[in-house]
Structure 1
Amino acid sequence: MLFDMLRDPALLVLCAITLAGCSGLPGVLLRHGPLGQRLAAAAALLSSLIALPSLVYLLFWRQTSSFTLNWNLPFGPCEIALDPLSAFFLIPIFLVFPAGALYALGYWPAAERRASERSVTFFYGLLACAMALVVVARNGALFLIAWEVMAVSGYFLLVAEHAEEEVRGAGTVYLVASHLGAGALMVLFSTLFFSTGAFQFPAAGSLQLTAGLSTLIFCAALGGFGSKAGLMPLHIWLPSAHANAPSHVSALLSGVMLKVGIYGLLRVISFFPHPPFWWGALLTAAGLTSALMGICIASAQKDIKRLLAYSSIENLGIICTGIGVYLLAAVSGNRLLAYLGLAAALFHVLNHAIFKPLLFFSAGSVIHAAGTRELDRMGGLAKRMPRTAFLSLCGAVAICGLPPFNGFASEMLLYLGFFGEAQAGAPYLALGAPVLALVGGVAVISFVKLYGIAFLGAPRTDGSARSHEAPFSMLAPMGLLALLALTGGLFPQLFLALVNPAVAALAGPGADAVTLPVAPAWFAVAGGSLLVLSAALFFFLKGRAKAVPAGAGPTWGCGYIRPAASMQYSGSSFGALFGSLASTLVRSRISAGKVAGVAPAATKLSYTPEETVLQRIVLPTISIIGVGFAFVRRLQHGEVHVYILYIFATLLLLMLWVH
C-alpha cells in the first residue's frame, strides 16, 4: 500500500515539501562541523529530485489532486490541493531552493560562519516549505499560518548578520511591511468568510458578489499580495532586505518569494467569473509604473545588490503588466491577446526565477572575492574570476531581455500583444509598447554599468586586485541556471509547455489553444544564429590578436606618466547623464568633509542614492501615521488591574453587540 501511495505524484510533492522543511534540522542537532550543512544541501537536492519530475507530470497531464487533513481548529476542513496553477508556482521553489543550498556550502560555510550558519540553514529550508504550503493551501486559515511562517523565516534569514545596524534596520522594516500586508490579507479572508460562510477557497469562477464586496476583496488582495511582490509604492521593504540578506537568501527572496505575491493575486482573481475592466487597467498601469520607476532607480545605484533589488521591482512590474493585459483582453473577448498577456506574465515568472538568482549568486561571488558591495570599489574581476564573469554576462543579457536568452522570449510575447492584437480591440494598449521599450533600454544601461564597472578595466582597490575565483559549489548552480536561461531563450516552447496548463486553469479550458503570431522555431533560428556569429567573432578577434605581434611602450596620459585605476569611469560617472534625467525619481545625498587652510588635510567625499518616492512621500507618511497612533502605546503600561478592566470592557461590548 505504501508503494502505491508513493506512485502518486501529488503525494510525492507533499513529501518533498516536508523534506524541504526538515532539511535544516540536522544542523540544529549537530552543533559542530559542516556535516549538518552538507546534510541540509543533500536533503534540498533530494526534495528537488522528487518534486520537479512530479510537478512536470502533473502539469503535462493537467491533473488536480486534493487532500484533507484532520485538525481541531474551528476554521473548517484543512484542505490542500495541487492544480496546474499551484504546480507551476512550485517549480521555482524547488529550482532555486536546492541551488541556493548548494551555493551556501561555499558562500556561507559552517567553518567560517559558526555563529549564524545553523540558523540560516534551518530557516532557509523552513522558508521554502512555508512558501510551498502557501501555494497548495485551500483554506484561508492555513494560508495565513503558512504566510506568517514564511514572513518570520524570511526575517531571521535577513538578520543573519544582526551585529550591523543597517541589517537590523532592514529587518525591522521588512517585518513591519510583512505584517501590514498580512493585515490586508486578514481583511481579504474575513470578507470571503462573511460572503461565503466558510474559510475554504471558492471554486474558480464561482464567486458572485456585489460590486462593493468585490472591490474590497480585490483592493485587500492588491495591498497584501502587492506588498509581498514589491509593486510600487508598496516596495518599501524590498531594496534594503535584498541588499543586506546573504546572497543565496536574496536569490530565494527575489527569485521565489516575490512570485508568491503574484500567485496570491492570480488565485484571488480566479475566484471571479467576470473581473471588471478597471481591475485590468489598474494592474496594467501599476505594472508599467513599477517597471519604469524600478529600473530608473536601479540605474543610479552603486551597491550591486541594491541595483539587483530594484531591477526585481522592474521585472515584477512586467509580470503585473501581463496580468493586467490579460484582464483587459478578457473583458473585450480577445482570446489571443488574453493568452499573450497571461502567458507572458507566467513565462516571465519562470524566467525571472532563473536569471535573477543567477545574478544574485554572481553578486555573492563578487562580494565573497572582493570584500565589498560597492561597484566603484571593484574592477578588473574578469581576469581573476573568468567563470563568474562569463556566467554573470549570461545573466545580464537575460535580464535585459536580449536574445538568445529567456528574458527576450517572455517579453517578446508582451510586445506581440501590444503591437499586434491590441490594435484590434484595445488600441490604447499599444501605448504600453514604448514604455516597455524604454524599460528595456534603461535595463541595458544599468547592466552595462554593472558588468563593465565590476568586471572590466583595472582593479580600483586592493580587495579587487586580490580577488579569486569562486569554488565549484558556487559555480555549479550558477552554471545550471545560465544553461536554463539559454534553453528558455532558444526553445521557449519547452517552457510554454509548463505555462499553458496554468493558463488554462486560470482562463478556462481551451484558453491556450491559440496560434502564436511567431513560430517558436524562430527563436531557435534567430538565437542560434546570434550565438554562432558571436562565437565566430570572438575566435576571429582572438586569433588576430595572437597573430599581431605585441608591442610595449609608454602610454601618453595627458601629462600623467602612468594612468591610474582611479582615472577610470566609475559607476556614478557612467550613469551621470541618465541619472540627471531621472533626478525626480532618485537623488544623490552627498556628504563631504571640510576643506580648510592653505594645505588642507585629506578628506572624504561620499554619495548615497536616495529614492525620492520612498524618502519624500512614503516614509514621511508612515511617520505621520505613527505619530497619530502613538497614543495606543499608553494603553500598554504593565499594570495588571488595568488590563483586567480592558478585558471586562471588551466582554461587555461584545455582549451588547450580540444582543
Structure 2
Amino acid sequence: MFLLDPTLFLLVAASCVALSGIPGLLARRSAWGQRIAAILVIAASCLGEVAVISLLSGIPASSYQIDWPLPFGPALFSADHLSTIFLFPLFLVTGAVALYSVAYWPAREKASAGRLTFFLGLFAAAMIIVVMARNGVLFLMAWEVMALSAYFLLTTEQQSSDVQRVGTVYLLATHTGTMALFVMFSLLRGTVGTFAFPATHALSLTVPVATTVIITALIGFGGKAGLMPLHFWLPGAHANAPSHVSAMMSGLMLKMGVYGILRTLSFFDQLPVWLGWLILLLGAWSAINGIALAAGQRDLKRLLACSSIENIGIVFIGIGLALVGLNQHAPYLVVCGLAGAFIHIVNHGLFKSLLFLGSGVLIHGTGTREIDRMGGLARRMPVTSPLFLVGSLAICGLPPLNGFVGEFFLYIGAITDGIVAPLPLAALVAPVLALVGGLAVLTFVKLFGIVFLGSPRSVESAHGHEASAVMTGPMMLLAGGCLVAGMAPVLLVRLVTPVVGFYAGLTPQDSAQVMGQIPLVALTCANVLLLVVILAVGAAYRRRLRTSPRSQGSTWGCGYLEPTPRMQYTGTSFSEMAVSLLGSIVAPNRRRPTLDTPIPPADARFSYETTETVLDRILIPVFRVVGTAFSYLRKVQHGQLHIYVLYIFATLCVLMIWKH
C-alpha cells in the first residue's frame, strides 16, 4: 500500500517537475536539455493524474512529516478531496505546456530558454506543494517560490520597458498580499498554538481573531486570484509574459488564490452571514467588470487576461451562493453553488490555457499581438482556427462545450432556490450571469471574427503561417478535454461530488440526493443532439460547396472603386457601442482630431487606448503624491554627522518628555 499512496505519488511528481529544468541550465543552447525537461514534466504529470484518480476512487492519502531544524513545527504534506479539484487541471495543463514550450521557445533560438524552463518547473512544483502543504510556514515558503518563479518567468524579455513595468507592479502586488498572509498565519498560530493547519471545522467563529483571519485571507488570496479591486496586476502581467507562461498563470496560478480562501474558510465550524454576501458581491463585480474590460481591448493577450477576471468572478459567485446557502440552511443552493464553482475551476483551466496557447501560435505566426492588425488567418492556420474556436465557444459558456456546465449549476441553484427558500437576492445571480454571458459572446465573436475571418489587415497577417504539431498537439488535447467535459458532464460531477460533500459538511447520501435532482441526463442528451446537428449542418454545407458551381466577382465596395483591407471592420469598431455604454468601467482614452482644419485638410490622427482604472487612475496617482511628499524628507539627509547627532538628541528628549 505504501507504493500506491497518492501522497507519495504527488511528492515524487513535484520533485521531478522541480528538477526538470536543471538539464536545460547545464546544456545551454542545446535542445536536449529542454527535451529532457519536457519528458520529465510529462511523466510527472501522468504520475500526478494517477494520484488524483486514486484519491477520487477512495484510496486514502497518507500524511508525511519532515522534522526540519526550523522552529516552526514539522513540515506536513497531505492531500484530500479539495486538493484534487486543483491538482487535476494543474497536471494536465503543465504537461501540455511542457511539450508546447519545446517549439514555442526553442533553446537553439532563445538564449533565455534554459532559465525559462528551470523557473517553469519550479513554478509548477511550488503550486503542487501549495495544495499539499499542511503547515503555515511550509505553505508560505511554497507560496513565495511560486510568486518569485512567476516573476522571473514574466520578466523573461526583460529588455522591454513594458515588461519591467508590469513586473514591478506584479512584485509589489504579490508581496503586499503575502504580508496579509503573514498576518493571517501569525494569528492562527496564536490561536491554535502551532503553525500546523487546524482540522476541518475545528475553529469557532467566536475566536477573537476570526474576523481578522477571514479578512486577511480575502486580501492575500483574493489579490492572487485577481478578484476586483485587487486585480490591477493581472492584465499587464498575463499580456507580457510568454504565452505558455500566461497559460499557466491564468489557468493555474489564479486558482491558488481560490484554493487558499477555500482552505482557510474550511477551518471554521460556522461562517459569518455577511461573508457569503460579500463574496457574492465581489464575484459579480469582478465578472461584469472583467468582461467589460475585455470587450474594449485591442491587445489579444490583454483581452484574454481581462476575461480571466470575469471567470474568477463566476467562481466566486458560486462560492458566495454556497456560503449564503449554508447560513440559510438551503442544501440545494450549497450543492449547486459549490458544484458550479468547482466545475468552473476545472473548466477554466482547460479552455483558458487553450486560448493562451492559441494566442502564442498567432503571435508566432504573425509577429503581433494587436487584433486590429490580424485577419484572414483561418485559411493560413487551418488547425489553429477550429481549436481557437472551441476555446472561444467554451469560454462564452455555450453548449455543447464545458464552459456551460458550471454556469448551468449556478443558474439552476439561483433560480430554483430563489423559488423554494426563497432567497430573492440570490436569484439575481441569474440575470448577472446572463449579462456576463452576453458580453462574453460579443467579446469573443469580435476576437475570432477579426482575427480569423475577412482579409489580412497587415503584411504580418498576410504572411501568417501554421505552427508545428508540437504546438498544436497540446492544444488538441485541451480542446478534446473541453469537448468531452461538455458532452459528458457526469464526469465533472463525479470529480467534484466528493469535495462538495466534504466542504459542505453533507453526507455522501445527502450530496448524491441533491445532485440527483440536477437534470444531467437531459443536459447530456441536449449536448449530444446539438453536436450531431452541428456536424450534420457542417457536412451538408461542405458537400454543397463541393457540388455547387463556383464563380468569382468583386464584393460591394460601398461606393469605393478600389476597396482595401483597411476598410474592413476592426475589433475597435466592432465593440465601440458596447465600450461607449460601459465607458465608466472601460474608461478608454480617445484622442480625436480637431475639425477646424484648413482647406485642403491637414494630416489628422485618431488614437484609442484602454486604461486600467484602478492602476492608472487611482494607485499610480496616489504613489506619485506620496513620492512627492517624501521627496521633501530627503532634505534632512545632507550627510553632516553633527546634525544627525542633534536629531538623535532631540528624539531622546521628546521620548523622555512623553514618557514622563
Q: Same fold (TM over 0.5)?
A: yes
Which letter does structure 2 place at the counterpart of 1:505? F
Tell me what 2:268 maps to. 272
CA deviation after TM superposition for structure 1 residue 422, in Å: 2.7
Indicate how the Cα distance of structure 1 residues 305 and 348 shifts in structure 2: closer, same or farther if over 3 A, else same. Answer: same
- Cα pair 2:205 2:269 within 8 Å, conserved: no
CA deviation after TM superposition for structure 1 residue 92, in Å: 1.8
User: Are 1:15 and 2:12 matched, yes or no?
Assistant: yes
CA deviation after TM superposition for structure 1 residue 148, in Å: 0.7
DSSP-derived class of the 1:163 partner: coil
User: Are 1:562 and 2:562 matched, yes or no?
Assistant: yes
Greater shift after overlay, 138-147 or 418-427?
A: 418-427
Indicate how the Cα distance of structure 1 residues 629 and 431 shifts in structure 2: closer, same or farther if over 3 A, else same. Answer: farther
- Cα pair 1:173 1:237 within 8 Å, conserved: yes
Aligned 1:120-159 pairs, distance under 5 A: 120-159=116-155
CA deviation after TM superposition for structure 1 residue 197, in Å: 1.3
Greater shift after overlay, 501-510 or 480-489?
A: 501-510
CA deviation after TM superposition for structure 1 residue 562, in Å: 3.1
DSSP-derived class of the 2:349 partner: helix
Which letter does structure 2 place at the counterpart of 1:180? T
Tell me what 1:514 maps to. 513
Which letter does structure 1 place at the counterpart of 2:393? V
- Cα pair 2:52 2:84 within 8 Å, conserved: yes
Tell me what 1:652 maps to. none
Percentage of matched positions with identical amino acids: 48
- Cα pair 1:489 1:523 within 8 Å, conserved: no
CA deviation after TM superposition for structure 1 residue 526, in Å: 0.7
Tell me what 1:312 maps to. 308
| CA-based RMSD | 2.6
Indicate how the Cα distance of structure 1 residues 33 and 212 shifts in structure 2: closer, same or farther if over 3 A, else same. Answer: same
User: Are 1:87 and 2:91 matched, yes or no?
Assistant: no
DSSP-derived class of the 1:82 partner: coil
Tell me what 1:589 maps to. 589
CA deviation after TM superposition for structure 1 residue 603, in Å: 6.1
- Cα pair 1:170 1:241 within 8 Å, conserved: yes
Indicate how the Cα distance of structure 1 residues 542 and 75 shifts in structure 2: closer, same or farther if over 3 A, else same. Answer: same
Tell me what 1:655 maps to. none
Tell me what 1:325 maps to. 321
CA distances 1:102-161 after superposition (whole Å, capped 9, x unpaired):
1111111112212x1111100000000111111111111111111111110000000011
Tell me what 1:650 maps to. none
Find 1:72's aligned residue among 69, 74, 83: 69
- Cα pair 1:60 1:498 within 8 Å, conserved: no
DSSP-derived class of the 2:183 partner: helix
- Cα pair 2:178 2:220 within 8 Å, conserved: yes
Tell me what 1:432 maps to. 429
Greater shift after overlay, 273-282 or 584-593?
A: 584-593
CA deviation after TM superposition for structure 1 residue 544, in Å: 2.1
Aligned 1:520-535 pairs, distance under 5 A: 520-535=520-535
Tell me what 2:43 maps to. 46
CA deviation after TM superposition for structure 1 residue 82, in Å: 1.0
Which letter does structure 2 place at the counterpart of 1:467? G
User: Are 1:490 and 2:487 matched, yes or no?
Assistant: yes
Distance 1:435 1:451 in 2: 24
Any unmatched runs of 5+ in structure 2? 648-660
DSSP-derived class of the 2:383 partner: helix
User: Are 1:204 and 2:200 matched, yes or no?
Assistant: yes
Tell me what 2:103 maps to. 106
Greater shift after overlay, 11-20 or 494-503?
A: 494-503
User: Are 1:229 and 2:225 matched, yes or no?
Assistant: yes
Distance 1:274 1:357 in 2: 36
Greater shift after overlay, 211-220 or 447-456?
A: 211-220
Which letter does structure 2 place at the counterpart of 1:533? V
Indicate how the Cα distance of structure 1 residues 332 and 37 shifts in structure 2: closer, same or farther if over 3 A, else same. Answer: same
- Cα pair 1:458 1:565 within 8 Å, conserved: yes
User: Are 1:398 and 2:394 matched, yes or no?
Assistant: yes
CA distances 1:538-564 after superposition (whole Å, capped 9, x unpaired):
122222233332223344423322321
CA deviation after TM superposition for structure 1 residue 606, in Å: 2.9
CA distances 1:516-573 after superposition (whole Å, capped 9, x unpaired):
3333222221111111111111122222233332223344423322321011100011
Tell me what 2:497 maps to. 500
Aligned 1:169-180 pairs, distance under 5 A: 169-180=165-176
TM-score with structure 2 setting the length: 0.93
User: Are 1:416 and 2:415 matched, yes or no?
Assistant: no
DSSP-derived class of the 1:176 partner: helix
Tell me what 1:651 maps to. none
CA deviation after TM superposition for structure 1 residue 634, in Å: 9.1
Tell me what 1:616 maps to. 617
Greater shift after overlay, 518-527 or 471-480?
A: 518-527
Indicate how the Cα distance of structure 1 residues 457 and 556 shifts in structure 2: closer, same or farther if over 3 A, else same. Answer: closer
Tell me what 1:574 maps to. 574
Find 2:3's aligned residue among 2, 6, 18: 6
Greater shift after overlay, 71-80 or 511-520?
A: 511-520
Distance 2:221 2:639 in 1: 36
DSSP-derived class of the 1:513 partner: helix
Indicate how the Cα distance of structure 1 residues 111 and 621 shifts in structure 2: closer, same or farther if over 3 A, else same. Answer: same
TM-score with structure 1 setting the length: 0.93
Tell me what 1:188 maps to. 184
DSSP-derived class of the 1:154 partner: helix
CA deviation after TM superposition for structure 1 residue 483, in Å: 0.6
Indicate how the Cα distance of structure 1 residues 549 and 478 shifts in structure 2: closer, same or farther if over 3 A, else same. Answer: same
- Cα pair 1:491 1:521 within 8 Å, conserved: no
DSSP-derived class of the 2:611 partner: strand
Indicate how the Cα distance of structure 1 residues 65 and 588 shifts in structure 2: closer, same or farther if over 3 A, else same. Answer: same
CA distances 1:410-434 after superposition (whole Å, capped 9, x unpaired):
1000000111013222222111110
CA distances 1:555-594 after superposition (whole Å, capped 9, x unpaired):
4423322321011100011011111110011122235789
Tell me what 1:454 maps to. 451
- Cα pair 1:398 1:485 within 8 Å, conserved: yes
Greater shift after overlay, 424-433 or 195-204?
A: 424-433
Indicate how the Cα distance of structure 1 residues 101 and 233 shifts in structure 2: closer, same or farther if over 3 A, else same. Answer: same
Tell me what 2:251 maps to. 255
User: Are 1:60 and 2:57 matched, yes or no?
Assistant: yes
- Cα pair 2:205 2:270 within 8 Å, conserved: no
CA distances 1:576-631 after superposition (whole Å, capped 9, x unpaired):
11111100111222357899776677665432111334432344345455566778
DSSP-derived class of the 1:499 partner: helix
DSSP-derived class of the 1:590 partner: strand
Indicate how the Cα distance of structure 1 residues 240 and 554 shifts in structure 2: closer, same or farther if over 3 A, else same. Answer: closer
